[in-house]
Structure 1
Amino acid sequence: MPSNDRRSTQLTASITFRMDSLSQAVLGASVMAAVLPARQRRKGLAAGALLGTVPDLDTFIVPLFSQTPVDIFTWHRGPSHALWLLLLLGWLLWWLLRRRVPAVQQAPNAWLLGSVLALLTHPLLDAFTVYGTQLWWPSSSHPVMWSSLFIIDPLYTLPLLLGVVLAWIGGARRWAGRALLAGLVISTAYIGWSQLSRHWTDRIVATGLAEQGLADAPRLLVNTPLNTMLWRIIVMTPQGYAIGHRSIFDGDAPLQLQHHASEMPLVRQLAGDNPEIQRLLWFTSGFMAADITDGRLVLRDLRMGTEGSYFFSFAVARQQPIMHGQQAPWQSITPAQAVAGPRQMRQQVEQTWQRLWHPLP
């Protein structure tokens, strides 16, 4: 794999589709400090912020073992995000610190609880995004993707950040603890709202799909950038896939979908002898599309990006030269990162907000 492609894959996987590190740090700081004695609040904020980012060290660890784009893509949020492993890690860190750190010795049970919470809340928050988090690794079940929070959402992060800042300023004062708790309550309530909005929209989408004869079609709702009110709909159809949008302000407007053809039957045919293709299909829960570009079969992750500009695309096969007038056969290749379309993020955000506030007629 060319070094430029490898660096591009690592950069996108580590930055674009990871719950931003600030959110993870302030969440870890909040839960850690909330359970410690008030006199240790500042120590808890610092330790929790550090522990809250530990699971994402896999961004740097995975490339040490494999530099193939599929491994970098699918092993992020893998073992380092497994709940049982983080629970064990939290206990081990506490056991080591209890012998050496006076603050831990003064409140051992609180430090054990805080350490575990700071670590476990990281993958749980990740699971609310669409990338997928392997909470049950090494189970073969699909990565968990509750898909109701965008990767970066200031409405979630700001209450936590404000609570942490005030708690650091206030130290052991009572109002500082209340500010910390308020940040946790508000941010958690926002997650609850995101799930409520998604499930309510999904019920409407299900009715619309039934009316179009697609009641049993696999579907996925993904929130659009920086909001929890406009949802992108992905539907896998017999001919390919369909994409639509649904706002909570659309009322009784009929569901509108844009249908697209896909070469997925060919992908599944080739997947039998290609474990990397199988892993891509597993990791995305099958929400992928395929097209032929420059003689190569390209597999695209439909969950992330927009039509014509998907963030993760992999060339998985190439067409052999035509011989004796026969149809050219396809040969599997080691999946390689394919060039994505231009990413006009500002334009996408503007279109999102225009669609959100202008419901369908």
Structure 2
Amino acid sequence: MDSLTQVILGAAVSVAVMRRRTAVWKAALWGGVAGTLPDLDVFFSHGDPILDMVLHRAESHALFWLTLFSLPFAALVARVQGEWAQWRWWWLAMWLALVTHPLLDAFTVYGTQLWLPFSNYPVALGSVFIIDPAVTLPWLVGLLVVLARRGDVRGQRANRWGLAVGTAVLLLGVGLQAQVECQARRSLAAQGVVAERVLVTPAPLTMLLWRVVAMDGDAYYEGFHALLDAPGGMRFERFDHGTRFEAAVAGIDGAQRIRRFSHGFYRLQEDGRGRLVITDLRMGQEPHYSFAFAVAERGSDFRPLPVAQSVGGHGPIAPALAWLGRRIRGEQLPAPR
């Protein structure tokens, strides 16, 4: 999730644990710090944009390492605040503020390596967009109330309610995702598409509209479903998967990392400059994706580039937002290209 949401969640969780055992602003401050610490890995470059992508949300987001780190970190907080007698409560507050960060990230589609050092499998439920006000606002409102009321009983109750409502929205997203996936699979089957794998993710900023990607051999399909759509099957567009380029990337480490990290939701294509590009299809929509990398260039055959080049990006924002607003209301509009 976005950094602001992580700070808010960490602060709200810390306040809920510490209650009136310390000043509410202290609990919120240190919880906010703990809530943002895992994302500091973005400041470390690995010298390659693909490595920067797949190694983000790795050790710094692993539950095992964060649990170990929480002990000295909580001891430091208790010492700095002169509250060593409360260090066990500070440890519980800091541990929860730290581990809820990657757990929340795991609800997004990016991929969070929760189980390191035992497994580097990137957990990616994909049931919430990286920014979703419906999740963040209840946590923010509850936190602001408890701060305004200086941690009194009513303020603490408001903070707990905020945490509960925001968490309920997250779980609602999981349920909606499963419902849309069932409908998408039925629609695909009715159109004669036997999908090897299906991805269902919410559109930017909302759970009222969902994007579906289905992989089927030499092709992939993209469709959208709004909760306000009229009854009937989903519509899908077919796109080339680029399987003819598989042999060209078989020995390229970066391309194989993207194949694994994306759980198979990728495409290969040659761009207008003779470069072979691998694209993660999970983040973005046709034809614009956040993560696309040129990994080889054409000569007599494709030659791997010494270092992958990031070529991803987004399209014009205004037309995309206009389309999003109308599509949420159930209008069957073609996606902006």
Q: Could you tell me how far apart the structure 2 residues matched to 1:123 and 1:264 are? A: 34
Name whichever of 86-95 and 118-127 sits farther off: 86-95
AA at the equivalent of 1:50: V
- The answer as to 2:294 corresponding to 1:315 is yes
Q: Could you tell me how far apart the structure 1 residues matched to 2:80 and 2:252 are? A: 50
Name whichever of 336-345 and 156-165 sits farther off: 336-345
User: For this pair of structures, how many residues does the alignment match?
Assistant: 331
Q: Could you tell me how far apart the structure 2 residues matched to 1:211 and 1:284 are? A: 27
Deviation at 1:74, TM superposition (A): 1.3
Q: Which residue of 1 aligns with 2:250?
A: 272
Q: Specify the SS of the correspondent of 2:279.
A: strand
Kept in 1, the 8 Å contact 2:278–2:292? The answer is: yes
* Cα shift readout 1:237-275 (whole Å, capped 9, x = no counterpart): 1122111111223353112110011323423x2343222
- The answer as to 2:29 corresponding to 1:57 is no
Q: Specify the SS of the correspondent of 2:214.
A: strand
- The answer as to 2:133 corresponding to 1:157 is no
AA at the equivalent of 2:315: R
Deviation at 1:317, TM superposition (A): 1.5
* Cα shift readout 1:280-327 (whole Å, capped 9, x = no counterpart): 111111111111112111111111112121111111122214xxxxxx
* Cα shift readout 1:325-346 (whole Å, capped 9, x = no counterpart): xxxx222223523434652123
Q: Which residue of 2 aligns with 1:336?
A: 308
Q: Could you tell me how far apart the structure 2 residues matched to 1:70 and 1:240 are? A: 24
Q: Which residue of 2 aligns with 1:281?
A: 259
AA at the equivalent of 1:119: L
Q: 1:245 to 1:199 in 2, by over 3 A?
A: same
Name stretches of at least 5 consecutive residues in structure 2 with no aligned partner.
none
Q: Specify the SS of the correspondent of 1:351.
A: helix
AA at the equivalent of 1:156: V
Kept in 1, the 8 Å contact 2:276–2:294? The answer is: yes
Q: Specify the SS of the correspondent of 2:324.
A: helix
What is the aligned counterpart of 2:60 among 48, 57, 80?
80
What is the aligned counterpart of 1:259 among 235, 238, 245?
238
Q: Could you tell me how far apart the structure 1 residues matched to 2:136 and 2:313 are? A: 30
TM-score in terms of structure 2 length: 0.92
What is the aligned counterpart of 2:281 among 283, 296, 302?
302
Q: Specify the SS of the correspondent of 1:337.
A: strand
AA at the equivalent of 2:56: H
Q: Which residue of 2 aligns with 1:26?
A: 8
Q: Which residue of 2 aligns with 1:35?
A: 17
Q: Could you tell me how far apart the structure 1 residues matched to 2:219 and 2:119 are? A: 26
Name whichever of 105-114 and 291-300 sits farther off: 105-114
Q: Could you tell me how far apart the structure 1 residues matched to 2:263 and 2:165 are? A: 32
Deviation at 1:44, TM superposition (A): 0.7
- The answer as to 2:31 corresponding to 1:48 is yes
